[in-house]
Amino acid sequence: MKFATLKSGHPDGRLVVVSRDLSRAADAGAIAPSLREAVERWDEVRAPLQALYDALNAGTAQDAFDFDPAACAAPLPRTWQWCDASAFLNHGRLMERAFNTEPIPDFDTIPVMYQGGSDDFLGPRDDVPLPDESLGIDFEGEFGVITGPVPMGTGAAAALEQVLLLVQINDWSLRKLGPREMKTGFGFFQCKPSTSFAPVAVTPDELGGAWADGRVKLDLHVQWNGAWFGHPNGAEMNYSFGELIAHAARTRRLSAGTVIGSGTVSNESRAAGSACIAERRVIEIIDHGEPRTDFMKFGDRVWMAAQDGQGNTPFGAIDQRVVRAPAAD
């Protein structure tokens, strides 16, 4: 199944099912008014949602309408918990090499994860308001999962069974604020503004063989101001989503609707490019002794879409512009 959330004036938006080809949609409000409620009642609503989805794809759903990604909020405009990992070790190792920093303890055996803000996710076409372009504005292309309830202490195999939906993410970063926050020992806060999502969340079966081993094995195509930036593949994720969920649930239970991110998609092959500016900059430091690519400026755009071998984009696309935030009163 494929789902999206239309902006409605309500903080959780309005749930719709979306056709497999992303061309049509049908209101799911009679089954569940929002995706947040749907994932909390998943066992109850899954079958009627599947029936509506099947009817939509067959062309028999009543009151179906053209799907417009520009009308979408994030699939979950807000949720109980958002935890982001750094599951592509190539990305972290490049950072260590460029800046000659000490390796992260147990990086190869224990996932790195932080807890971000989950109260204000951005939709796929929303402008991204930020206070100052000197803060090192950067995009980060990722994949993520939305879970059902996960008991504390759940192992990786059982945790993977609690993946209800897959999502595509742009986890915005303000790079100039990150180093100080990491040195405090408390981790990211101001350097992580609101996170953006592609318009469509999909059940794992929608990806066929591209969902395997707890990984989204698709190329994530990234363009910055219309120019190619990278197309790294999610298959090189060193920790599976099952392992990431289990890590998050080691000492706490996870509520239905928890979002777990993969961290920046990163491949060892330079030909794949990058999914964030910081990675390109550290490659430039390694190759040339200094970075040659600046961070984003107000008015810049970033476009991201995971694609399969036939050019299909199962999550739709993120297409956003960075703008100056309005001055506070």
How many angstroms separate the CA atoms of 137 and 259, rounded?
23
| Together in a domain, 162 and 224 | yes
Averaged over 229-242, what is the pLDDT? 98
In this predicted structure, what is the pLDDT of residue 327? Answer: 80
| Together in a domain, 295 and 218 | yes
Let me know how long the chain is.
329
144 lies in some domain: yes
The 10s digit of each residue's pLDDT in 265-282 is 999 999 999 999 999 999
1 touches 146 (CB < 8 A): no
Distance of CA 214 to the CA centre of its chain: 15
In this predicted structure, what is the pLDDT of residue 101? Answer: 66
| Together in a domain, 89 and 55 | no
Percent of the chain whose predicted confidence (pLDDT) is above 70: 98
How many angstroms separate the CA atoms of 266 and 143, rounded?
11
Averaged over 93-113, what is the pLDDT? 78
Q: Report in angstroms the alpha-carbon separations of 29 from 21, 124, 156, 206.
A: 21, 21, 33, 22
| Together in a domain, 92 and 66 | no
Residues 6+ apart with CB under 8 A from 134: 176
329 lies in some domain: no
In this predicted structure, what is the pLDDT of residue 100? Answer: 62
Question: Could you say which of 16, 42, 71 is where a domain stops?
Answer: 71
Q: How far apart are the first and last CA of the chain?
A: 44
Is the predicted pLDDT of residue 118 greater than 60, yes or no?
Answer: yes
Q: Is 75 exposed, middle or buried, given 0-12, 13-18 or 19+ CB atoms closer than 10 A?
A: buried
77 lies in some domain: no
52 touches 61 (CB < 8 A): yes
87 touches 239 (CB < 8 A): yes
| Together in a domain, 284 and 155 | yes
289 lies in some domain: yes
142 touches 304 (CB < 8 A): no
| Together in a domain, 9 and 32 | yes
| Together in a domain, 192 and 87 | yes
In this predicted structure, what is the pLDDT of residue 50? Answer: 98
Distance of CA 219 to the CA centre of its chain: 14
Q: Would you list the DSSP string of 256-286?
A: TT-EEE--S---S-GGGB-SBHHHHHHHHHH
87 touches 263 (CB < 8 A): yes
Domain coverage including residue 30 = 2-71
Residue 133, domain CATH: 3.90.850.10
Residue 234 gets the label, from left (phi > 0), alpha (psi -120 to 50) or beta, of alpha
| Together in a domain, 40 and 111 | no
Question: Could you say which of 71, 92, 116 is where a domain stops?
Answer: 71
76 lies in some domain: no
Q: Report residue 288 as tokens.
A: 């040339």
Q: What is the mean pLDDT of the chain?
A: 94
Q: Count structural domains, the chain.
A: 2
| Together in a domain, 66 and 150 | no
CA nearest to 235, candidates 252, 254, 213: 213
| Together in a domain, 137 and 272 | yes
284 lies in some domain: yes
Averaged over 244-262, what is the pLDDT? 98
Q: What H or E segment, with its residue span, contains residue 93?
A: helix 89-99
Q: Which amino acid is at 143?
A: F
251 lies in some domain: yes
202 lies in some domain: yes
Q: Report in angstroms the alpha-carbon separations of 33 from 29, 39, 174.
A: 4, 11, 34
| pTM of this structure | 0.95
Largest CA-CA distance found in the chain, in angstroms, rounded: 61
In this predicted structure, what is the pLDDT of residue 95? Answer: 74
The 10s digit of each residue's pLDDT in 155-191 is 999 999 999 999 999 999 999 887 777 777 777 877 7
In this predicted structure, what is the pLDDT of residue 92? Answer: 81
In this predicted structure, what is the pLDDT of residue 184? Answer: 74
| Together in a domain, 146 and 24 | no
Question: Could you say which of 71, 92, 112 is where a domain stops?
Answer: 71
| Together in a domain, 51 and 180 | no
Q: Which amino acid is at 159?
A: A
